[in-house]
Amino acid sequence: GQNIDQPTEMTATEGAIVQINCTYQTSGFNGLFWYQQHAGEAPTFLSYNVLDGLEEKGRFSSFLSRSKGYSYLLLKELQMKDSASYLCAVRVYSGGYNKLIFGAGTRLAVHP
Amino acid sequence: KAGVTQTPRYLIKTRGQQVTLSCSPISGHRSVSWYQQTPGQGLQFLFEYFSETQRNKGNFPGRFSGRQFSNSRSEMNVSTLELGDSALYLCASSLESRSGGNTIYFGEGSWLTVV
C-alpha cells in the first residue's frame, strides 16, 4: 500500500530552525511536494523534489532521499506567521498518470 | 494569471439534501482533483478528472460524484448529505505531464456544513 508518515505536532521558538520529517512507502514514486496550510485556508505550494538532494528557496529548504523514502522540510529564522500545518505529499505514477497522496500534516506552533 | 477558483466558498445544507460545488482550474490546466479535508482525517482524495474523464477515484461512497466539462471546469456533487460530510472541499489543478514536474495548485476551498 501507499503510506506517508509525518509528526502530528511540533513547536519551535521564533528565530530558530525547525526540521519537519516525512517518510513514505510508495510505489511509482514521481516526486515529493511540501505544502503549507494556515488554518481555514487552502494549501499553498512550498517545494518540490524529484531527485535526491537539497532544494533551497529562501528560508525554506527541502531534502529528499529516494533510497530511504525520506524527506524533510527545513524552516530557518522562524517567524510567527510560520505557524501552520505542513503537508508532505508524494506523487506516484501508476496506470499512465500521476496521483498525489498526502500525509496527515504536521501542525507547527511558533512561540515568541 | 488567475488561480483556481471555487464556488461557493461557504454553504450550509440540511441532512438529506444534495450539494454541487464548482471549480475553475488555472487557465491551461486540464487536470482537476478534488479533496475532502476534515480536522481528524487530513486531506482525503476524492477523484481526479483529465480531459472530461475520471481517471482516478478515492474510497468514498457513490453519493460523491463529479464531472469535468470541455473547458476543464469541474463540479462535484454530494447527494443525500450526512452530518459527516461537513468538511472543507478543495479543488486542485495542474498541467499534468508524464514528466511529473508540474505543481498542483489548490483553490480556496468550499466550506460545507451539514446540519
Alpha-carbon distance of B100 to B114, in angstroms, equals 37
Tell me which residues of chain B have a pLDDT lower than 50.
Answer: none
What is the C-alpha separation between A34 and A52, in angstroms, rounded? 15
**What does the alpha-carbon distance between residue A32 and residue A90 come to, in Å, rounded to a whole number?**
4
- Write down the pLDDT at residue B43: 87
pLDDT at A58: 94
Residue B52: partners with Cβ closer than 8 Å, 6 or more residues away: B67, B68, B69, B70
What are the Cα distances from residue A69, in Å, to A23, A24, B61, B104? 6, 5, 31, 21
What residues of B are in contact with residue A99 (Cβ under 8 Å)?
Answer: 45, 48, 56
Residue with cell 453519493: B63
Are A62 and A49 in contact by the 8 Å Cβ rule? The answer is: yes
pLDDT tens, residue order, chain A (112 aa):
788 999 999 999 999 999 999 999 998 898 999 999 998 888 999 999 999 999 998 999 999 999 999 999 999 999 999 999 999 999 888 777 777 889 999 999 999 9
**pLDDT for res A41:** 86
B16 contacts B81 by C-beta, under 8 angstroms: yes
Indicate yes or no: CB of A99 within 8 angstroms of CB of B48.
yes
Separation in Å, CA of B42 to nearest CA in chain A: 5
pLDDT of residue A60: 96
Give contacts of A 14-43 with B, CB under 8 A: 30-31, 33, 35, 41-43
Residues contacting residue A81 through CB under 8 Å, at least 6 positions apart: none
Q: How far apart are CA A100 and CA A92, in angstroms?
A: 6
Which letter does DSSP use for residue B98 in this model? Answer: T
**How far is Cα A10 from Cα A33, in angstroms, rounded to an integer?**
19
- What confidence score (pLDDT) does residue A42 get? 87
How many beta-carbon pairs under 8 angstroms link A with B? 55
